[in-house]
Amino acid sequence: MLPVAVQWSELAAGRLGHEGAVELQGLVEGAIPVKATIWVRATPPGQINTVQPLPTVSAVVGHAPTLPGFVTVQYNDGSRERLPVQWPTLQPARYAQPGEIQLTGTAQGRAPTRKVSVPLVLQIKAATP
């Protein structure tokens, strides 16, 4: 995934003055229309109901895998949020041989949920000659 510049339409402050969804229009590279939805809430979100599963991460033997920095969670009110994930330190010996590694990180939720577990599968593949 590559970052791209988006030129967003102006957002009047009055559109953020009440709870609900606010849709915003924009253009990528001045030509491709995109939209984003902003959810304005009057109170903090409640409990996290689901953690979106992360795709399997692949790496080559002897090379440290790049772990995802964020996970998407869904709250009991239906809203979603991307939260940063903290992963345990992965020692080089764990990715020195081909195989599968089960790893569990944590994401800091809001009260009352607090921390949630984030499972991840790492697929360590043999180097190709």
Give domain limits for the chain.
6-40, 48-125
Contact 57, 122 (CB under 8 A): yes
Tens digit of pLDDT at every position of the chain (129 positions):
678 889 999 988 888 888 888 999 999 988 899 999 888 887 877 788 999 999 999 999 999 999 999 999 998 888 888 999 999 999 999 999 999 999 999 998 776 668 899 999 999 999 887
Query: What is the CATH number assigned to the segment(s) 48-125?
Result: 2.60.40
pTM: 0.70
CA distance 98 to 123: 8
